[in-house]
Structure 1
Amino acid sequence: MPSTTSVLSAYTTFSASTMLARTMLNEVQNLTNQLIPQQLQEKVLAKLGGLIGYSSSQMTLVIDEYNGLSLNQMFEASEAYLRTKISPSVVRLKLSKAPQEQNFSLTVNKGEKIVDSFDDVQVVWQMICTETQKTKADCDGYFSSESVERRSVELSFHKKHKEKVLSSYLPHVLERSEAIKEENKVVKLHSLGNCYGEVNLDHPSTFDKLAMDPTLKQELMDDLDRFVKRRKFYKRVGKVWKRGYLLYGPPGTGKSSLIAAMANYLKFDIFDLELTSIHSNSDLRRLLLATTNRSILVIEDIDCSSDFQNRQAGAHNQGGNQLTLSGLLNFIDGLWSSCGDERIIVFTTNHKDRLDPALLRPGRMDMHIHMSYCTPSGFRILASNYLGVNDHSMFTDIEQLITEVDVTPAEIAEELMKSEDVDIALKGLVKYLHVKKIERGKANGGEKEVSEQEREPESKGRS
């Protein structure tokens, strides 16, 4: 029988060996973590598990930020949803704030994990970021290399909950994210052309401030309301869920303000397409893919883009390398127009008669909106906006003069801004309208005189 001393000695030796082994193991683990990335460790362990027949009970879904050339809707939804699930245990967050925004924006930083539960199912989200090098051309055509961050989120859960996660939890995330984005959405203005950029659209224009015909304004609002509610209708009839509007009229009648009012009303982003910077149909298709759902695509002053007025322009210049009318038509309602949902296309022009009829038919430009010179009702809206008055003794004279001259809402607004005193501002407007009336009379008199002079030689010849 061993003595007490020998037993204690053996125990001490065993304890020391155990401590040494544990210390060495910790050192090896720390060294491994420093030298081998966590993702690579997980892949190696997964491979080893497969070789020895080990099967993990966990399943992981990888959701990349991009699906080919398009944004991954599920990634965007996850990012918005996870902002509402940030717990006190999360120690690293990304903080941002645009100059026009009132509040800070917090997002999950790379490597952080967020635990969520849904219908007794526990899931774990983790943000993954990797960096790659990408070569790109700037606005002047110079090439440069930049570091690009590739982002994805990983969703992990027990394998037995796979069906519930796919059929119930992820649709729940999508639905909640849409509601969250709608509540917090800031309308953005995107520039599409040689250089892509975006800013927050901090434009104050709303429908109630627009100096346009009240009946036409209500018709447009009703049309927009019908459009956004008709997802199932468009699918049932086999049409792409989009709508086209042509805004035409002289400069200064509020076409750009109307576009901003539409964006603010629907909370749709605006994509401003600069045709002069696009050189081929393929460029046009590439830019179309950069637009998002629930957006307004704007092509202003399309009558100034003479390249589209000749259907054969591309046939005479470098074949298919040119931007052609047929390319634009396919962009509006061809196969490429189906690359997205709930989109609005707006053309503006000062001269509707100069446009190719192919651009104007229903299905391309569904509603034609005439932005006319200012009307009496439009003047009253402007007076309320700029002077804060709804009635005045000079209103009758002003409204009568407005019916006798061609004056734009922009011209009237400029006169009303010249003084904060209501009487002074309105007197100045009356004077301005009288001058325009006199100028119009002189112009009409000159035209009449020229016409009589042209007829005079004809009468002499007959005599």
Structure 2
Amino acid sequence: MFTLMEVLKALAPWFTAAVVVVLTPTVKELIPQAVSNYLSSAFQDYFYSRLTYINIEEYGDFAVDQIYYAATIYLRKKINDSPKPKRFICRKAIKQNKPICDIAMGEEVIDNFRDIRLRWKLRVVRTGHHLQLQPPPDKNIFELTFDKRFKKEVVESYLPYVIDRAEEIQREKKGMKLYSPNCRRDHNLPTGQEWSCTILEHAATFDKLAMSPELKRSIKDDLDRFVTRKEWYKKVGRAWKRGYLIYGPPGTGKSTLIAAMANHLDFDVYFFDISNVDSDSMLRQILLTISNRSMIVFEDIDCTQLGKRGEEKKDVYSYSYRKYTLSGLLNAMDGLWSSCGEEQIIVFTTNHKDQLDQLDPALFRPGRMDMHVPMSYCTMDLFKMLASTYLDFTEDHKLYGQIEELLANAEATPAEIAEEFSRTEDADAALEAVVEYLKQKKIAKKSSRTEAPGAEKSSRTEDPGAALGAVVIAEES
């Protein structure tokens, strides 16, 4: 049998809640202030002591926090289902199909997970004083609130679920992103502002690529094998990354190949200009913010002035001094720091592979640049692929024999042939224009070969007669 005190004690929280809820300003005036304060305090002690708060900061030590990033993506799907938020932040890039809506600062989103009610709230934490000359940036945080009884289930089940669901949403997204670094020389990078991006819409595919079928198949097979070997990389103790060196003259399709690779894998692309990097720490900071399932492209790697290890300039007052080093790049690519990212493709491009011997061979060894991909001048096989793509022309033509002979000597790039094809949709007219173009290329190439020796010989003497004699001898030889 319950005593009166036990009954009153059991009903006290509910009685307190009811009193506090129904109290109006008029009623409050009729009871002592001390009693009103006690009832309000009892209400808050009972209900708010049952809640647990988890603060999830936007940035960790080096990059965006994974839970914060996942929550941002996850909550975009929950906004419409939650009755709470009344204000949103909406934005839309020109090439996006529909706007992206995020919760505004101070707003809440209610979620339910296994009968657990969870409340997400976006807040900002001031980290500096307004009188500071350079106050640290404010911190954005997600405040996650729930009944403290479910703390273990929220931490061990709900948060991993949010991360997994966010990854699924990312894989389901339509369209890739193209990133460019915001770094400028002699400027520190605010955390979270390392990159700017736009929607990447490039029609390049392997089917449309002017490349030998064997090389094309080899690259596709290598990419497909890479993305399915997560456990293999873990087993052998290597970072889940793969490197490609793409080389060839300008206009041979290096950028188009990169776009085709990105489309094939559905990877975002990060174009990286290392010449704007001031230090190894800045290089590391930028590379650590690159997301998984992405391609990191270093264009014209031969122009980076990396030199060889041990040969970096030591004169800090020299104008050409580079604070970043080859060792810093190698450590970021496949050293201990490389384990911070996975399922990434690293691409080096160069127009002059013969100049790569000026760089350290360690930069291109297997394990860093696993596959070397040559991009050549247009051959007859590549020409027929271009004719099929641009002109829908798949038959042999009476001009093909002449074109094949001209291609063997003219050194025309696929881009040059494509430009001639793009001027008309008439196949006969286009092929005739190509023949004329290749003839001019052949004449120009022959002229450059005959003029160069003469210019070299004539520069050795100021005597006109001797100079002309030297030119004749050079041409005859």
Normalising by structure 1, we get a TM-score of 0.77
Aligned position for 1:105: 100
Give the corresponding residue for 2:187: none
How many pairs are equivalent?
Answer: 411
CA contact (8 A) 1:131 1:147 kept: no
Of 181, 184, 187, the match for 2:173: 184
Distance 2:66 2:272 in 1: 23
Residue of structure 2 equivalent to 1:79: 72
The aligned residue for residue 290 of structure 1 is 289
More displaced stretch, 435-444 vs 194-203: 435-444
Match of 1:3 in 2: none
Q: Distance in 2 between matches of 1:27 and 1:318?
A: 75
**1:130 and 2:130 matched:** no
How big is the shift at 1:361?
0.8
Q: 1:151 aligns with which of 141, 147, 151?
A: 141
1:377 aligns with 2:381: yes
| SS class of match (1:71) | coil
Residue 63 (structure 1) aligns with: 56
Determine what percentage of the aligned residue pairs are the same residue.
40
2:433 equivalent to 1:437: no
Q: State the shift of 1:368 in Å.
A: 0.7
Match of 1:366 among 348, 360, 370: 370
Letter in 2 for 1:348: T
Distance 1:26 1:397 in 2: 103
- Say whether 1:233 aligns with 2:232: yes
Q: In 2 relative to 1, CA 381–156 (structure 1 residues): closer, same or farther, beyond 3 Å?
A: farther
Change (3 A) 1:106 1:27: farther
Tell me whether 409-418 or 257-266 shows the greater mean CA deviation: 257-266
**Equivalent residue runs for 1:290-329 within 5 Å:** 290-309=289-308, 311-317=310-316, 322-329=323-330
SS at match of 1:208: coil
1:391 and 2:398 correspond: no
Q: CA deviation at 1:214?
A: 1.8
- State the alpha-carbon separation in 2 of the partners of residues 46 and 363 from structure 1: 65
Residue 317 of structure 1 and its aligned partner are, at CA, apart by 3.6
SS at match of 1:94: strand
Q: Classify 1:443/1:64 alpha carbon distance in 2 versus 1 (closer, same or farther; 3 Å).
A: same
Structure 1 residue 148 displacement after superposition: 5.0
Which residue number in structure 2 is paired with residue 348 of structure 1?
349
Residues 1:315 and 1:423: Cα distance change in structure 2 (over 3 Å):
same
> Equivalents in 1 of 2:375, 2:147: separation in Å?
57
The letter of the residue matching 2:264 is: Y
Q: Do residues 337 (structure 1) and 309 (structure 2) align?
A: no
The alignment partner of 1:101 has SS state of coil
Q: Provide the residue aligned with 2:258 in structure 1.
A: 259
Summarize deviations over 1:378-400 as a string: whole Å, max 9, x none: 22232233223233524454344
- TM-score (structure 2 length as normaliser): 0.75
Query: What do residues 155-212 of structure 1 show as CA deviations (whole Å, max 9, x unaligned)?
Result: 52451x4443334333333222212111115322222231742222222222222212
User: In structure 1, what is the Cα distance between the partners aligned to 2:42 and 2:365?
Assistant: 59
Q: Which amino acid aligns with 1:344?
A: I
Q: CA deviation at 1:27?
A: 8.9
Q: Secondary structure at the match of 1:107?
A: strand
In the TM superposition, residue 91 of structure 1 has moved relative to its aligned partner by 4.8
Unpaired runs of at least 5, structure 2? 1-18, 30-39, 185-193, 458-468
Q: Which of 436-445 and 382-391 deviates more? A: 436-445
Letter aligned with residue 157 of structure 2: S
Does the CA contact (< 8 Å) of 1:416 and 1:425 recur in 2? yes
Q: Which SS does the other structure have where 2:348 is aligned?
A: strand
Q: Which has the higher helix share?
A: 1
The equivalences for 1:192-207 within 5 A come to 192=181, 193-194=183-184, 196-207=195-206
User: What is the CA RMSD across the aligned residues, in angstroms?
Assistant: 3.6
Paired AA for residue 258 in structure 1: L
Q: Does 2:402 match 1:402?
A: no
The CA distance in 2 between the partners of 1:153 and 1:403, in whole Å, is: 67
Structure 1: runs of 5+ lacking an equivalent:
1-17, 29-43, 136-142, 458-463
Q: Distance in 1 between matches of 2:178 and 2:66?
A: 20
Query: Matches of 1:27 and 1:216 in 2, distance apart?
Result: 84
Correspondence for 2:216: 217
Quote the offset at 1:427 in angstroms.
Answer: 1.0
Change (3 A) 1:157 1:186: farther
CA distance in structure 2 between the partners assigned to 1:272 and 1:177 by the alignment: 25
In the alignment, is the contact (CA less than 8 A) between 1:311 and 1:325 conserved in 2? no
Please state whether the residue corresponding to 2:23 is helix, strand or coil. helix
Task: Select the residue among 428, 432, 444 that pairs with 1:427.
Answer: 432
Match of 1:38 in 2: none
Code of the aligned partner of 1:96? R
Query: Matched residues in 2 for 1:336 and 1:402: separation?
Result: 47
Deviation of 1:240 (Å): 1.1
Q: In 2, are the aligned partners of 1:312 and 1:324 still within 8 Å (CA)?
A: no
What CA deviation, in whole Å up to 9, does each residue of 1:406-431 have, x standing for no partner?
A: 11111111111122322212210111
Aligned residues of 1:314 and 1:324 also touching (Cα < 8 A): no
